[in-house]
A and B are shown apart, each in its own frame.
Chain A
Amino acid sequence: MNFPILSVITFLPFAAGMLMLAMPATRKNEVRAVALATAVIDLILSAWVYLQYWLGDMSGYQFIEQYRWLPALGISLKFGVDGMSAPLVLLTGIVMFTGVLISWGDDDPHVMAGIQDRPREFFAFLFLLAGGVFGVFVSLDLFMLFFFYEIAVFPMYLLIAIWGWAKTREYAAMKLTLYLFIGSVVALVGALVMYWTQYQNTGILSFDMIQMESAGFSSAFQYAWFLPVFFGFAVLGGIWPFHNWSPDGHVAAPTAVSMFHAGVLMKLGAFAALRVGIMLLPEGAKQWSWLVMTFAAIAVVYGAYIAFVQTDLKYMIGFSSVSHMGLVVLGVSTLNHNGLVGAGVQMFSHGVMTALFFAITGMIYDRAHTRMIPELGGVAKVMPFATIGFIIGGLVSMGMPGFSGFVAEFPIFMGVWGRQWLVAVVASISIVITAAYIMLAIRKVFFSDMPEKLVGHISPITALDKVAISTLCFFMIVIGIFPAVMVPMIEKGVENVLRLLGGA
């Protein structure tokens, strides 16, 4: 079978975006229908890729497609997935699908949920973003990786600035874009240097990352260039101390964009940092892993603590993302089997979980017009479905056994323990803090008495919202109960990373 499935997954959102822009602005529902259809197709295709990979022998890169794009400079459009990226492709499909459902909206003037203002442009930009994200996850060519990476970054500016929270959107959008752009161009310089050094070493002019694995970069070279490349990408992963853009961006963004942002985009940073930073510069990774580990441990605890003291529900989740993404980077920084596997699962698990959190927060905000935890209460009576979803998300976040969070966090801590037990001890404080803020928030927002102001203003959620919540919960529970649907696959991906690290 030579159906170019990865290119279809990647380019379909772009095509759909163009199509939507060509439609008349007044046909809002038709635009939404096109968006939903595209998202469904992409979800099915990405699930198909995942299943095929899982059912097969799960070895190496599969679904490889290669088109010569600019042979003169060794640029080719080379796609393929391995055990690390296949779950992330699926994750993107899930978030895209649920994001469209959440943004469908409700024209009822009492509710005005979702995107009512210029949905055509909204979905077009959102899909541009989605296509870019797919592109990064499947690209095996460094040039194309950057190409898609940048495509995934700039629509964020528009999405946040135009449809975001009026109070902070301009500031947050610009801050976010500048942070991410700075990170990516710093990494770009590193990539160009790697490209020419490879040419000097081997005489091969190519951006192919698999090729670059054997480019023979000297140790000194790797020590010098690991930091800019790794941290350039890790900015998007929200690594402390470059995380500042992230909570602001989360809060200012409209719901679907927050979901994309925390659910997928931050994974993009961690994934690219792993793929380019660690896999291409393994010596440098070994040299600097202590630094990465320190930063990540600070992010884990600091993020959790800041989340704990927030009164704004969205800021709380925003900082919890910093904390959880810190766990991903922490797992990566161990450079051992357990840590990396945990990081891989955590990327997926956190993506789904945080998308769910933001979706439900968005639903509450659309109805209550406030996100301040002290001003909310008793939401469970009107939105029981959303409440269950939030609780499941909370359990995942706390790392309860039986949910995907446990499958992810347990190996990470094991891996960290193997490297440096002190860091594991310090980082594990975050579990307690996380449990505290999640449970406090659940109690206050969902189960305390509803404030007078809100009574009668909160309407039940729509059927589409329920579909979105159930989809997200489904994945968290399935992975929690049957880790075998994901862990062996990620282990295969990790084997490849470890091979490059020289079995460290």
Chain B
Amino acid sequence: MFTSTIFASILPEILILTLGIILLIVEPFWKAEARRNVGWLVAGGLFLSMIISLLLGQPGEPVSVLGGMIRFDWLGFFFKMLFMFAAAITALLMMDHEKAGQRGEAYLLLLASLLGMNLMAVSADLVMLYLSIETASIPLYLLAGFIISDERSTEAGFKYLLFGILASTIMLYGFSLIFGFAGTTNIYSLSEMFAAGKIALPFFFGLLALLIVGLGFKISAVPFHFWAPDVYQGAPTPIAGYLSTVSKAAGFAVIVRLFFVAFSFGDNLALLQSWTWTLAVLAAITMTAGNLLALNQTNIKRLLAYSSIGHAGYALIGVVAFSQLGAASVVFYLAAYIATNLLAFGVVMAFSRVTGLEELEDYSGLSRRNPLMGLMMLAAFLSLAGMPPFGGFVAKVFVFAAGVQANYTWLVIVGILNSIIGVYYYLNVLKFVYLRRMQNEDEDKHPVALTRPYAIALIILALAVILVGTVFAPWFSWSDAAALNLFRF
């Protein structure tokens, strides 16, 4: 039976699919010069879909629909909105990409991947989960290697493909073990099976290792991060931005749901702590490695890649905390992080479109060449560094608060040491933007113009970063509502 709840639960996906079909129909009729306008169509369509979903598709009490394949709750819904927002911005940022922005395929692949991400956020069944992960990943392999004339891009595509496939097969093996053990693939039924305590600790550790390989790859946690810097550097910049934000957040959506629901283990503290401690160590290593490696980077995209590895570590603290606040803080962190990192990548994209340059030194004098872009850069990097009034500060405090509450003070201290390292290299970038000058001090002759899609995207993002950082109550209560769904089901 197809009820209105079922309809509402997959409304965003229906809309995305419709948008894709419209794109396929319309695009061939447009002249080659006008193909770029597909970006307006996709971005506008996605924003419209968000509005429609917010009006008609809000979840009520959490329910499993479509044969238990999909969970219709706030957690999934909030993530979906985040993903659609980020994808719309990515579409805007793609428009003036010389090689990717003129081709309808790129936008279609983006939508296909978005569809997969959305389903990842709501999957309540391991089979569904695996399928949606693949749906999300395969278009991204293509997008990363989209510029076939560019060796780096091709390399990025291949690297991502090889690493991705390997990681996902290992994870699939983990899923099959779970099925073999529990006889069910439904995450919510698993919860009861595991809570009954019928699982041996060593076996669970093995299982955990397999799952962490797959999911760690998605969120680029150390030691599964090797692909990230090369792929971010080689892939078209908007795609790199998308990879580092939406793809990572989708990974977290899965982690949060899978671990909080399936591995809550009732009262069995030993089993519970086996994974929280594993993830705590993973988080500590990820943060530290990401931030330390970022220190020496001279290429801005590689720097952002390592910094995004570090941020995965911070967000993991919330998962480790395994509390309602922990889950809420992860969701909040990701919301702030998506806006911030997209802003950073957006400025990088806009800059390299005009200048073709990506080294830190090339940013010398940017604040004189384009003061607005200088300010955007400032907002993005200070937010990444965790400074108020930008989103990064509040997000970090919430995650740390969750960590302290759960008695992981040592992990919070590691996080704090890392954010000190972060401050150093983020400010270092701003030093080039604001302090250093171009070689002949003739910035006036080298303006960096923003085209309209960039201007719109960057202003929306900058406002989002500041709004999340100052008026944080609404975002937090949504994150909190999402988190609540994990504990009362």
Contact = CB atoms under 8 A, between A and B. Distances in A.
Interface of A: 21, 25, 69-73, 118, 121, 143, 146-148, 150-151, 153-154, 157-158, 161-162, 169-170, 174, 177-178, 181-182, 185-186, 188-189, 192-193, 195-196
B106 interface: no
A147 B389 contact: yes
B476 A193 contact: no
B397 interface: yes
A157 B433 CA distance: 13
A192 B400 contact: yes
B382 interface: yes
7 contacts: A69-B472, A72-B480, A73-B398, A154-B387, A189-B400, A189-B413, A193-B404
A177 B409 CA distance: 24
A151 B387 CA distance: 7
Contacts of B413: 189
B431 A170 contact: yes
A73 B476 contact: yes
B393 A147 contact: yes
A149 to B, nearest CB: 9
Interface in B320-377: 325, 367-368, 371, 375
Interface string B376-392: 00100010010111000
A158 B477 contact: no
A291 B368 CA distance: 49
A196 B404 contact: yes
Given A185-B416, A189-B413, A150 B431 contact: no
A192 B424 contact: no
Given A121-B367, A157-B427, A170-B431, A189 B387 contact: no
Interface residues of B, number: 38
Contact of A189 (B325, B368, B409): B409
Given A150-B387, A150-B393, A185-B416, A192 B371 contact: no
B459 to A, nearest CB: 12
Contacts of B307: none
A501 B367 CA distance: 51
B472 A70 contact: yes
B486 to A, nearest CB: 16
A69 B434 contact: no
A203 to B, nearest CB: 14
B434 A161 contact: yes
Nearest to A190: B404
Interface SS of chain A: helix
A268 to B, nearest CB: 15
A108 to B, nearest CB: 22
Contact of A70 (B388, B393, B404, B473): B473
A157 B394 CA distance: 20
A127 to B, nearest CB: 13
Interface in B417-457: 419-420, 423-424, 427-428, 430-431, 434-435
Contacts of B472: 69-70
Contact of A196 (B378, B405, B473): B405
Contacts of A69: 472-473
Contact of B397 (A146, A148, A182): A146
A170 B435 contact: yes
A481 B413 CA distance: 49
Contact of A150 (B325, B388, B428, B480): B388
Given A73-B476, A118-B367, 17 more contacts: A69-B473, A70-B476, A121-B367, A146-B397, A147-B388, A148-B388, A150-B387, A151-B387, A154-B387, A170-B431, A178-B420, A182-B420, A188-B400, A193-B404, A195-B401, A196-B401, A196-B405
Which 4 pairs across A and B sit closest by C-beta, in order of nearness? A192-B404, A185-B416, A70-B473, A154-B387
Nearest to B424: A178
Given A161-B434, A195-B401, A196-B404, A174 B419 contact: no
A181 B371 contact: no
A178 B424 CA distance: 7
A490 to B, nearest CB: 30
B318 to A, nearest CB: 14
A185 B419 contact: yes
A25 B412 CA distance: 42
Nearest to B431: A161
A143 B469 CA distance: 13
Contacts of A174: 424, 427-428
B382 A121 contact: no
A275 to B, nearest CB: 19
A71 to B, nearest CB: 8
Nearest to B466: A18
A246 to B, nearest CB: 18
Contacts of B388: 147-148, 150-151
A121 B434 CA distance: 10
